[in-house]
Amino acid sequence: MAAASAQLRKDARVERRRRRIADAALSLFASKGYTVTSVDDIVTRARVSKSAFYEFFESKEHCFRELLALEGGALISDVLTAAASGHDHHERLRLGITRFVHSCFERSDVARLLIVESVGLSAGVEAVRHELQAQFADAVAEEVRHAKGHDSFYADKDPVVFGRAVVGGVSDAVGYFLTHPGADADSLAESLYVIFAP
């Protein structure tokens, strides 16, 4: 019993150290950018040794990929969950767009990783980013596929192209308005679904 309790405490300490490193890396990648951030910066912010960093991550890029997959994956999962609660294709598209915009405004550090810092970084990072975008785009494409037969707005739309256009347009607009004042999350979401889900 005592050995199991000791192991649980050790596991909890290890997980807290990993979380401190991940939180420090996320904050620095978002505020300074990937290229400027060093492993030394991350371990200094996390107050851990460099060996502690390498206990969890092979490299700075590996750390970035893991963060993007975990944090970006959680954001996209929230988007898909919100969209699924809609009663028809219009509502599902609007709910998905709204959740994406709000999540990006609420978690601008994650949005910066997903929308800005990950673009063109490496083949491995691009693969993670493309997988996350594909989940969103595929959900949009499926809604368009079902709407084509009974909604004149979607009747002439290619579902795959439309899905990618939504992801690209929404991501670009969010990226712009996160760095340029002028739109809040609600007004941006409304403007976007006037375009994509009228």
pTM: 0.88
Q: Are 51 and 67 contained in the same domain?
A: no
The domain that contains 108 carries what CATH number?
A: 1.10.357.10
Q: Are 16 and 67 contained in the same domain?
A: no
Q: Are 64 and 21 contained in the same domain?
A: no
Q: Are 118 and 44 contained in the same domain?
A: no
* Residue partners of 180: CB distance under 8 A and separation at least 6: none
Structural domain of residue 18, as residue ranges? Answer: 1-57
pLDDT at residue 130 greater than cutoff 90: yes
Q: Are 176 and 187 contained in the same domain?
A: yes
pLDDT at residue 158 greater than cutoff 80: yes
Query: Which one, of 55, 181, 178, lies nearest residue 116 by Cα?
Result: 178
Q: Are 4 and 90 contained in the same domain?
A: no
Contacts made by residues 43-46, CB under 8 angstroms, sequence distance 24+: 46/17, 46/20, 46/21
Q: Are 142 and 116 contained in the same domain?
A: yes
Q: Are 71 and 137 contained in the same domain?
A: yes
Q: Are 91 and 39 contained in the same domain?
A: no
Q: Are 4 and 43 contained in the same domain?
A: yes
The domain that contains 14 carries what CATH number?
A: 1.10.10.60
Tokens of 189: 């979401």
Domain boundary among 57, 88, 105: 57
Q: How many domains does the chain have?
A: 2
Span of 6-15, 98-107, 108-117, 146-155 with lowest mean pLDDT: 6-15
Q: Are 171 and 147 contained in the same domain?
A: yes
Burial class of residue 157, CB neighbours in 10 A (0-12, 13-18, 19+): middle
Domain boundary among 39, 57, 75: 57
Q: How far apart are CA 3 and CA 8, in angstroms?
A: 9
Domain boundary among 17, 40, 57: 57
What is the per-residue pLDDT across 49-107, written as a single tens digit (0 to 9) for each? 999 999 999 999 999 999 999 999 999 999 999 999 999 999 999 999 999 999 999 99
Q: Are 47 and 82 contained in the same domain?
A: no
